[in-house]
Amino acid sequence: MRLSRRALALGGAALATPALAAIRGEVVIGRDGWLFAAWENIRAGNIAGVRRVGGLISEAIGLLKQGGIEVGIVLVPMRARIYPEFLPETFRMGAEAEQRYSTLLEQWRRAGAQMPDLATAFGGLKSREREPIFFKQDNHWRPPAAYLAAEEMARSAQAARLPPSSRPGTRLGDWVNFTQATADLTALLPQADRARFPMERYRIRAVPPAVGSLLGDDDAGSDVALAGNSFTMPLFGFTPALSSALGRPISLFMRAGNFGHWKILTEYLSGPIFRNTRPRLLIWQLLEGNMEHMPDQRGYFGANAMAPAEFLRVVRQAAAR
């Protein structure tokens, strides 16, 4: 998911000379064909902003739990955190950016969320897998990381004590090979640079349509709901794998593009899926790189910005139904 936020990404630094020579628009060109999102602000970081975001989401977690809805959080770590060796020398993680993931993990677990530590889990996966965790030229995760995230989230969700499901989870089929149709970071480069970054091949487990138990966002009836961005699209494998790992159908509310996580959650809580079937467990998928920005930052979220009080109003109203 990309939002137009170059000035914020660069932390206000002037566009200068060799120090920023690796940046092309919103993309950082790394080593060995790796691209990174410039907007994730890894050089400076803003731990005070992270704590404010964490506190607001902690309040939302508390409201939902008071309403009888358990909350799971899938916080996808930045690719720069997992693959710092491919960053250019002029674009390295600062001390406050290093603290971002662990700060949020501690805050949201303390608030009562079921939340796996994917930063640690992905570090272990990296050490034992030949296939990269992320695409080199696309900001999304590859299926092995998505499958591990699903397993870790399902393990954390055991604390929610869901009753047995009367319907099975999605059955994952055989491995099939694909080649990317697009790569979001490559698409942000100047046309002259794009030929240097060919589309990548990858493997994913097929989902037989006749037996798949994943519910789309027009369906209802599951006691587990997943609200997230394009990382939850079935083509990356996380959502069907989560249904399989939980052993039950899940309803998916997904918005790709420039929605932002605040808007995604409030749309779900205000919409027909939630009204028709109140979940026992709501899983919210988030991106670490977006976690410094409060919902009212219009320069970051554009037309989808909202006041923090409005965000909490929607959550409070939904929890009270």
List residues bridging with 98 in a β-sheet.
Answer: none
Q: Is the pLDDT of residue 2 over 70?
A: no
What is the spatial distance between Cα 220 and Cα 271, in angstroms, rounded to a whole number?
Answer: 11
What's the average model confidence in pLDDT over 186-191? 92
Residues of the chain with pLDDT > 70: what percent?
Answer: 90
List residues bridging with 114 in a β-sheet.
Answer: 72
Report the amino acid identity of residue 306: M
Report phi then psi at 318, rounded to 5. Answer: -65, -45
Q: Is the pLDDT of residue 79 over 50?
A: yes
User: What DSSP character marks residue 172?
Assistant: P
pLDDT of residue 251: 94
Residues 231-270: b if buried by 16+ CB within 10 A, e if exposed: bbbbebbbbbbbbbbbebbbbbbbbeeebbbbbbbbbbbe
What's the average model confidence in pLDDT over 41-69? 95
CB 176 within 8 A of CB 203: yes
CB 207 within 8 A of CB 173: yes
pLDDT of residue 24: 81
What's the average model confidence in pLDDT over 173-201? 93
Q: Give the SS3 label for residue 134.
A: strand
pLDDT of residue 215: 54
Of 178, 184, 272, 196, whose CA–CA distance to 234 is shortest?
Answer: 178
What is the spatial distance between Cα 93 and Cα 30, in angstroms, rounded to a whole number?
Answer: 13
Lowest mean pLDDT among 15-19, 126-130, 240-244, 249-253: 15-19
User: What DSSP character marks residue 287?
Assistant: E
Two structure tokens written together for 21: 């020579």
pLDDT of residue 20: 43
Non-local (6+) Cβ contacts of 227 within 8 A are: 253, 254, 264, 265, 268, 282, 283, 284, 285
Q: Where are the domains of the chain?
A: 6-320
pLDDT of residue 234: 87
List residues bridging with 179 in a β-sheet.
Answer: 201
Mean pLDDT of the chain: 89
What is the spatial distance between Cα 260 and Cα 286, in angstroms, rounded to a whole number?
Answer: 9
pLDDT of residue 130: 81
What is the spatial distance between Cα 313 and Cα 318, in angstroms, rounded to a whole number?
Answer: 9
What's the average model confidence in pLDDT over 151-170? 93
What is the spatial distance between Cα 50 and Cα 104, in angstroms, rounded to a whole number?
Answer: 7
Write the DSSP assignment of 187-234 as a string of letters: HTS-HHHHTTSPPPEEEEE---TTT--EE-TT----SEEEEESGGGSG
List residues bridging with 281 in a β-sheet.
Answer: 70, 224
Better-predicted residue by pLDDT, 258 or 34? 34
pLDDT of residue 8: 36
Q: Is the pLDDT of residue 112 over 60?
A: yes
What's the average model confidence in pLDDT over 53-64? 98
What is the spatial distance between Cα 285 and Cα 169, in angstroms, rounded to a whole number?
Answer: 19
Q: Is the pLDDT of residue 258 over 90?
A: no
pLDDT of residue 214: 53
User: Which residue do the tokens 């089929």 mark?
Assistant: 173
> For the chain, how big is the Rg over CA atoms in Å?
19
Residues of the chain with pLDDT > 90: what percent?
Answer: 76
Taking only the tens place, the pLDDT of each residue in 6-39 is 333 333 333 333 444 588 879 999 999 999 999 8
pLDDT of residue 297: 95
Better-predicted residue by pLDDT, 70 or 14? 70
